[in-house]
Amino acid sequence: MFQESLFLSVVFIVFALAAAIQLFYYIWFYLAVYLYKHLDNNALKSPVSVIICARNESENLRNFLPAVLEQDYPDYEVIVVNDCSEDFSYDVLGRFLQQYPHLKISNVNKDPKFTHNKKFAQFIGIKAAKNDILLFTDADCQPQSGKWLEGMTSHFDGTTDFVLGYGGYLKEKGLLNKYIRYDCMTIAIQYLGMAIRGIPYMGVGRNLAYRRSIFFENKGFGDYNHVISGDDDLFVNTNAKKNNTCVEFRKDTHTRSVPSSTFKEWIAQKKRHLTTAPYYKLRDKFLLIVEPTTRSIFYTGFIVLVASLFFWQYVLIIFGLRLISQFIILALNQKRLNEPGLVGYSLFFDIFSPMINGIVYISNKLDRPRKNLWK
């Protein structure tokens, strides 16, 4: 009896500590996104190069590229790197070339003796750019307004080298779509909130801007050229700092991407994204591991303590405090990032997402390394 009481006492202490850490993440990092006030720098309209890498994306280019080419901005070029496409991308881009004089195409031909990942295509686009400010998105992405380019590039004053934007997914029917959007939103709240607090650790290639000069000054992708993913987050993780990074997530500056249509497709995408995690700075890895670990401990401790009726009143109060904070802060950020209909599913997704990410991460560790996959 004494041993059981001692065990439950330890569980309660650990549960309470995990709850405190969870509240810290929500109040310090995640709430910062809702509270953030963007500064208006509309006078800064420097020339910009938009870079899009595309492989077999003819349908997406046909549907989404016009929204990039028709931005309300005085001086910009759009560079599409058509990387070894075997569909109708060349024909689609050829027709757009006749309509839009600020569109440029860099074709990369397929070579059986040389395979490469997306970073090579990205490098080709950066090399071809004539402007110092670079704005990146994907072929399956659509800017949500004609002010996307202006908003994302308005922060480039004398000290800014990086602007981290928000790239969400199109809203569709089904639970999978809700989870994909929820996962994207919570990741964004984390990287945007940490950047606001002076700890920029990643950005997403669906909506990211940085200087061409800083790319070449830091030897491009450097030691991470072999990594499947990371053309966006690893470059930010290596070079972004508190004093050279801004965030931009007003609704006019969002992009929306085509979501995975099957769970298998989404898992493959998730596995590719998680290949970059081992290369993050030690500080960032620690902060990113602590949150899901304490979340799992929090829920496990809650189940054990409630089942044992051990200090159950205090357990319910602690659980309720964390749950209410979670719902309020997610609801506020859901509105800020224009992601309706997700808060009601947040408790269910919150419980299972650490397990899903853990399984995907372990699966990556067990897989053979794949160095030259593009996407």
- pLDDT of residue 4 exceeding 70: yes
Residue 128 lies in a domain: yes
Tell me what pLDDT residue 324 has: 96
- CB contact at 8 A, 38 and 250: yes
Same structural domain, 85 and 184: yes
Residue 354 in any domain: the answer is: no
In this structure, the answer to whether residues 114 and 258 fall within a common structural domain is yes
Q: Is residue 352 part of a domain?
A: no
Evaluate whether residue 257 is within a structural domain: yes
Same domain, 124 and 89: yes
Same domain, 141 and 289: no
Rg of the Cα atoms in the chain: 22
Q: Is the residue at 366 inside a domain?
A: no
Alpha helices in 79-132 (DSSP H): 89-99, 118-128
Residue 267 sits in a domain whose CATH number is 3.90.550.10
Please tell me the predicted confidence (pLDDT) of residue 372: 46
**Contact predicate 20/53, CB 8 Å:** no
Domain boundary residue, one of 218, 250, 275: 275
pLDDT digits (tens, 9 = 90+) for 235-247: 999 999 999 999 9
Whole domain around residue 61: which residue ranges? 38-275
pLDDT in tens, 324-368: 999 999 999 999 999 999 999 998 999 988 888 888 878 777 765
Domain count, the chain: 2
Is residue 114 one of the residues assigned to a domain? yes
Using CA atoms, how far apart are residues 309 and 305, in angstroms rounded to an integer?
A: 6
Q: For the residues 255-269, what does the mean pLDDT come to?
A: 91
> 228 or 278: which carries more pLDDT confidence?
278
54, 114: one domain:
yes
In a shared domain, residues 144 and 183: yes
Confidence at residue 42, expressed as pLDDT on a 0 to 100 scale: 61
Structure tokens at 133: 């400010």
pLDDT of residue 223: 79
Domain identity same for 218 and 303: no
Token pair in block for residue 308: 């044992």
Give strand pairing partners of 106: 81
Q: Which pairing describes strands 255-257 and 141-143: parallel, antiparallel, or unpaired? A: antiparallel
Asked whether residue 29 falls in the same domain as residue 101, the answer is no
Q: Name the token pair of 232.
A: 């966006």
- Quote the Cα angle for 132-284-282, to 5°: 110
With contact defined as beta carbons under 8 Å apart, do 320 and 347 qualify? no
For residues 68 and 203, state if they share a domain. yes
Chain segment 263-295, per-residue pLDDT in tens: 889 988 888 877 888 899 999 999 999 999 999
Percent of the chain with pLDDT over 70: 95
Phi, psi of 103 (to 5 degrees): -90, 135
Percent of the chain residues past pLDDT 90, beyond the cut: 73
Least confident of 26-35, 181-190, 216-225: 216-225
The reply to whether 125 and 24 lie within a common domain is no
111 with 58, same domain: the answer is yes
Please give the model's pTM, rounded to 2 decimal places: 0.92
Most confidently predicted of 14-18, 112-116, 229-233, 272-276: 14-18
Q: Which two tokens stand for residue 257?
A: 């991407």
> Do 128 and 6 fall into the same domain?
no
3-state secondary structure of 105: strand
